Amino acid sequence: MPEKTYRDALKEGLREEMLRDERVFIMGEDIGRNWGGAFKVTKGLAEEFGDDRVRDTPISENAIVGAALGAAITGMIPVAEIMFGDLITLAMDQVCNQAAKMRYMFGGQTSVPLVMRSVFGGGKNLASHHSQSLEAWFMHTPGLKIAVPSFAYDVKGLIKTAIRDPNPVMFFEHKLVYDRKEEVPDEEYLIPFGKARVHREGDDVTIWGTFLMVHKAIEAADELAKQGISAEVIDPRTLVPLDRKTLIDSVKKTGRLVLVTEETKTGATTAEIAAIVQEEAFDWLDAPIKRVNAPDTPVPFSPPLEQVFIPDKDRIISAVREIV
């Protein structure tokens, strides 16, 4: 099977869906032929599909999402790109008040086949406005589905599923995984929402995480294995819907749970997962649930500061060792 980068796998998914259904189109800032997207995900697509279907927009985040929404409810399938996840703040009304609620508040009269792509995460010294991980905000908004792919194989299968979903999907990527490679089939495949991927099986502890932290958790698990601790690593792949079963079954097996994401700690997705597990598997827990997150600060710029901000393999290992 050929190895592909996360970036290329994602582009392949977008391309296949655009070939399959001519209602699918992409809009966003600098996604077209001159730039190909800030992270080059859409490079070459404008040349292939034309400037109408790979549409450069003005710097108008609220109108980008709003216009994509208007197109979605009238027969198109837009993929709106917001250049950085931090900039979704400028489109919060259209995302959270409009797209998320439209079906419900109109009593099911319409559905919203809309994908909103954006990118989270630090590690590139881009400081406080280009490095955040804000997925929990959207998990707190009923009506949005949320995909959080961390691997090349997943990103392709999930973007295709997102585009075919009749609901608004927040499709979040991570800056530091675009260049990571994995085997990705050339043949078409879809990955269903709400199905976690278990990267390592283990008996002593469950490590649940997202984005770059899945990669760090795998590294941690491999090192822990050498120390005689068997860790199970779970990547939910989508936060809404959430694969509770895989997580709960794993906790029932291991009795211990470490949650790791790059989000600032308070109100993070890890807090919600911890709450779910204590509600559904309290009697199976042999130790307190551990959370490994960023501190409650803005993302700092200077390399040594950013390095302590973002959790790493060693912090995951220490958290595991505290409870195993």
* Residue 66 beta carbon to other proteins: minimum distance, rounded to whole angstroms: 2
Considering the complex, state which of residue 29 and residue 232 has its C-beta at the smaller distance from other proteins: 29
From edge to edge, which strands make up the β-sheet containing 145-147?
54-56, 24-28, 77-81, 115-120, 169-174, 145-147, 238-240
Pick the closer one to other proteins by CB: 34 or 302: 34
Within residues 146-165, the interface with other proteins by CB under 8 A covers: 164-165
Give yes or no for a contact between 305 and 295, defined as CB atoms under 8 angstroms apart: no
Catalytic residue check, 129: no
Stretch 83-142 residues interacting with other proteins (CB under 8 A): 93-94, 97-98, 102-112, 142
Kindly tell me the burial class for residue 173, based on how many C-beta atoms sit within 10 Å of its own C-beta (0-12, 13-18, 19 or more).
buried
Closest CA relative to residue 280, chosen from 307, 312, 243, 308: 243
Omega prior to 241 cis, within 30 of 0: yes
Q: Please, what is the minimum distance in Å from the beta carbon of residue 205 to other proteins?
A: 34
Residue 52 binds other proteins (CB under 8 A): yes
Residue 97 or 227 with smaller CB distance to other proteins: 97
How far apart (Å, rounded) are the C-alpha atoms in residues 295 and 243? 27
Mapped onto helix, strand or coil, the DSSP state of residue 1 is coil
Minimum CB distance to other proteins smaller for 213 or for 240: 240
Minimum CB–partner distance for residue 10 and other proteins (Å): 21
Q: Binding to other proteins by residue 143, rule CB under 8 A?
A: yes
| DSSP helix/strand/coil, 128 | coil
Identify residues 17-36 at the interface with other proteins (CB under 8 A). Answer: 25
Q: What is the DSSP letter of 300?
A: P
Q: Does 167 bind other proteins (CB under 8 A)?
A: yes
Q: Which residues belong to the active site?
A: 130
**Binding residues for other proteins, per CB under 8 A?**
25, 52, 57-58, 60, 62-76, 78, 93-94, 97-98, 102-112, 142-143, 145, 164-167, 193
